[in-house]
Amino acid sequence: MATPQISVLMKVLRELLRARGIRQRDIAERLEVSERTVTRWFSDNDIGLRPVEDLCGMLDLSFFDLCELASSQVEDRISRLTSQQEQALVEDALLVYVFRQILKGWTAQEIGAEREIPEPDLVGALMRLQKLGLIEVLPHNQIRLRTIRNIE
């Protein structure tokens, strides 16, 4: 596995933190640093290994898991659905609902709670979306979108 650049690691961290609803203020408080320091970490990619490991800890990820996610990240996200993806969404109301909420930035937990979707049904929908190549399901049912948010 090639070692990903720090900018890619930070991009993945930023996406994962955002998906969990963890703000820079929360990070600063938990890691006992200033918000300005956190801003610098993410804007300048000026960060050491220890803070990266601390951020991973906030997400229940190991540094190795983060590197794995970053190295597999595709720079070009899908910008248009294929006919197969469209057909699968049209045929399944739950699938289209879950995907639309993910596009809005909702977490799996928020989606399940909003409509009281049983966990097996929600996980099944997430797995189908992953099989379609629209999302990547991460540990603890975290989601990484593989499309742009305003997909056609």
Residue finishing a domain among 72, 93, 124: 72
Kindly report whether the global pTM for this prediction surpasses the value 0.75: no
pLDDT mean for each 10 residues of the chain (152 residues): 65 88 93 93 85 92 86 69 94 96 92 94 96 91 86 77
Give the number of domains in the chain.
Answer: 2
Residue finishing a domain among 50, 72, 94: 72
Q: Are residues 13 and 39 in the same domain?
A: yes
Per this entry, what is the length of the chain?
152
pLDDT at 2: 41
Residues 6+ apart with CB under 8 A from 106: 114
First to last CA, the chain: 33
Is residue 103 included in any domain, yes or no?
Answer: yes
pLDDT at 117: 95
Q: Are residues 106 and 64 in the same domain?
A: no
Residue in this structure with the two tokens 């969404």, named with its chain if needed: 89
Is residue 124 included in any domain, yes or no?
Answer: yes
pLDDT at 73: 63
Q: What CATH number is associated with residue 41?
A: 1.10.260
pLDDT at 77: 75
User: How far lies 27's CA from each of 30, 46, 95, 122, 128, in Å?
Assistant: 5, 16, 33, 29, 33
Q: Kindly calculate the radius of gyration of the chain based on its CA atoms and give it in whole angstroms.
A: 16
> Residue 9: CA atoms inside 13 Å, Cβ hemisphere, count?
25
Is residue 78 included in any domain, yes or no?
Answer: no
Which domain does 60 fall in, by range? Answer: 6-72
CA distance 94 to 11: 30
Is residue 1 included in any domain, yes or no?
Answer: no
